[in-house]
């Protein structure tokens, strides 16, 4: 199956995938079709031993974070899902919808490609999972991301089981450091952003950021000197006091 972006990496991996309905037709605005299409996604993932970490099925497209044991099977999985869901829609949709999906003279539910991005970092993971879950909010379908029924936002927020079972363990096992595993284990969705359970509130930027480096860094390693770092203890102390006053007195020694 054609893909627009693909990196071939041996072994298992976490992938952000997107696939779109022909002509962006809102086929899955029909709740019954959307629900059954997600069931087909689960079936395809079982066949190819793939974990669903996060997903959202929008009226005209699908975003998902998929964990594969064998990266080369991702195309096979997407081909299987598209085939199963296409057959489902063709058997149950109205004649008018089938005609709209046959704009090229041949019925096609999905565009003949999908986009893929391999996730390499925790930061990348959080950006993509936030993007997935906030899609219905940005499109004005719902006010609260967790209330959208065809998304994993509710499962990540409050462990509410949805149509699709979510495999968080796949993400945790990719991270070897226990501290990072704990942070990922606490990742939740709150309104329009992802927070980490137990993290301290983000403060407004009232002061310029601390400068840890000179404006001009040395161009070669030989130019390095102990004075290269310009740590500013006075500014740091001021910021600690500001944080303490704004936070109501929590322990800032953890910073």
CATH at residue 30: 3.30.70.1290
Encoding tokens for residue 254? 């953890």
Q: Which residue, 121, 143, 154, is CA-closest to 54?
A: 154
First CA to last CA across the chain, in angstroms? 48
Instruction: Verify that 26 and 145 share a domain, yes or no.
Output: yes
Q: Is the Cα dihedral 129, 130, 131, 137 positive or negative?
A: positive
b/e map 53-69, b = 16+ CB within 10 Å: bbbbbbbbbbbbbbbbe
Encoding tokens for residue 146? 């967790």
* pLDDT higher than 60, residue 191: no
pLDDT at 184: 53
**Alpha-carbon distances of 163 from 1, 57, 168, 206, rounded to whole Å:** 26, 11, 15, 44
Question: pLDDT-based confidence at 170, cuts 50/70/90?
Answer: confident
Instruction: Verify that 209 and 170 share a domain, yes or no.
Output: no
Residue 195 is given by DSSP the state E
Instruction: Verify that 145 and 216 share a domain, yes or no.
Output: no
Encoding tokens for residue 245? 């006053």
Decide if 29 contacts 41 (C-beta within 8 A).
no
Residue 27 counted as domain residue = yes
Q: In degrees rounded to 5, what are phi and psi of residue 99?
A: -65, -40
Instruction: Verify that 50 and 91 share a domain, yes or no.
Output: yes
Which domain does 127 fall in, by range?
A: 13-196
31: CB partners within 8 A, 6+ apart = 149
Give the mean model confidence (pLDDT) for residues 188-206: 36
Average pLDDT, the chain: 74
Instruction: Verify that 165 and 125 share a domain, yes or no.
Output: yes
Lowest-confidence pick of 113-117, 138-142, 244-248: 244-248
Decide if 80 contacts 73 (C-beta within 8 A).
no
Distance from chain centroid for Cα 103 = 32
Lowest-confidence pick of 23-27, 86-90, 153-157: 153-157
pLDDT at 174: 67
Give the mean model confidence (pLDDT) for residues 116-142: 91
2: CB partners within 8 A, 6+ apart = 112, 113
Instruction: Verify that 148 and 241 share a domain, yes or no.
Output: no
Give the mean model confidence (pLDDT) for residues 160-171: 84
* pLDDT higher than 90, residue 6: no
What is the number of structural domains in the chain?
Answer: 2
- Of 159, 178, 196, which residue is a domain's last? 196
């Amino acid at each position: 199956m054609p893909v627009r972006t693909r990196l071939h990496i041996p072994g298992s991996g976490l992938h952000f995938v997107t696939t779109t309905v022909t002509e962006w037709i809102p086929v899955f605005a029909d709740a019954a079709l959307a629900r059954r299409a997600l069931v087909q996604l689960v079936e395809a993932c079982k066949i190819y031993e793939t974990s669903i970490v996060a997903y959202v099925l929008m009226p005209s497209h699908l975003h998902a974070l998929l964990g594969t044991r064998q990266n080369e099977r991702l195309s096979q999985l997407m081909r299987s899902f598209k085939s199963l869901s296409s057959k489902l829609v063709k058997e149950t949709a109205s004649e008018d919808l089938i005609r709209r999906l046959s704009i090229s003279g041949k019925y096609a539910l999905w565009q003949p490609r999908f986009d893929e991005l391999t996730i390499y970092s925790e930061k990348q993971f959080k950006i993509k999972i936030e993007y997935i879950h906030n899609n219905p909010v940005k499109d004005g379908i719902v006010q609260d991301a967790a209330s959208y029924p065809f998304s994993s936002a509710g499962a990540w927020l409050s462990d509410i089981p949805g149509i699709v079972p979510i495999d968080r363990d796949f993400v945790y096992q990719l991270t070897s450091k226990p501290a990072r595993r704990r942070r990922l284990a606490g990742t939740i969705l709150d309104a329009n952003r992802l927070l980490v359970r137990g993290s301290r509130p983000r403060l407004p930027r009232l002061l310029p950021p601390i400068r840890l480096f000179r404006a001009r860094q040395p161009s070669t390693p030989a130019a390095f000197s102990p004075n290269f770092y310009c740590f500013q203890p006075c500014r740091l102390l001021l910021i600690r006091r500001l944080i303490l006053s704004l936070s109501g007195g929590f322990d800032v020694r953890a910073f």
